[in-house]
Structure 1
Amino acid sequence: MKRTFSITRKSREILLNYLNNYSLEQLNKIPEGFNNNLYWNIAHVVVSQQRLVYALSGKPEEMLVSDELVKSYMKGTRPMRDVTAEEVTELKKLLFTTIDKTEEDYNNGMFEHFKEYTTEFGYTLHSVEEGMEFNNYHEGVHLGSMLGIRKFV
């Protein structure tokens, strides 16, 4: 799992570069032909990781993301308003605090029970380890979307 968490942290460094190097206007812009923006993709992967690990392990109360963030950025949502600079600052923190806490909780054996879950891609997750491995794939999918979006912002 050390390698899995290392890959996640590298992904989060790439996502942080977007938050640091694009203006608030660019982060909020939804280009024609797209359903979301750069900020939504980043917030979505943070929320998804928390749900894949904590919610599927029966520990949703341990998630580091608020119910409001989950409702706004879970699968099936799209941006409903522009985000603020304060929200960008908070997301920058969540990129890494969520992974640090997940790794700590994993190492402390918190995720003993995992509810089997079949992803929208048809892959069934049987364990928290598979959940985190799938998370890395999922973050890559959204990074790919962001590579397309950035050309138009």
Structure 2
Amino acid sequence: MNTNQIIIITAISVGAMLVSAVLYLLKRAKRRMPENFDLMEGHEFEYYCAELLKKCGFQDVEVTRGSGDYGIDVLAEKDGVTYAIQCKCYSAPVGVKAVQEAYAGRDYYDRMVGAVLTNQYFTQPAVEAARKLRILLWDRGYLESMAEEERSF
């Protein structure tokens, strides 16, 4: 083997290592990039939330059928507690109606806890209704923290 061949083989090897390193860094960066919740369509958001719940330790996670679901989009269980979850992908704060749907759906599905999970925040009347009806409110901050927790595994 002559010097030119050694230089070419070395250059190819270094190039391959650089490509591998760049691909690794891109994959790692993609894992850390937050999902753009605001651009998701309603059903896409429901399935995303269901997958996120699974990755965060919820079991028996099930997306309900689209119509006639009594306001509940996801059923799940964690640590022996059963949940009925209403998912809302909105462009404005979530109001009382979502809380009422979670309240009705919790009883319809005979679940211990009702919750509303959203990419936004809640209106003050929604917060007050949730407190009175004992519905959990999981806002954008909570959703982002769940997504970050899932990424850290």
TM-score (norm 1): 0.25
Q: Name whichever structure is richer in strand by fraction.
A: 2
TM-score (norm 2): 0.25
The structure having more radius of gyration, on CA atoms, is 2
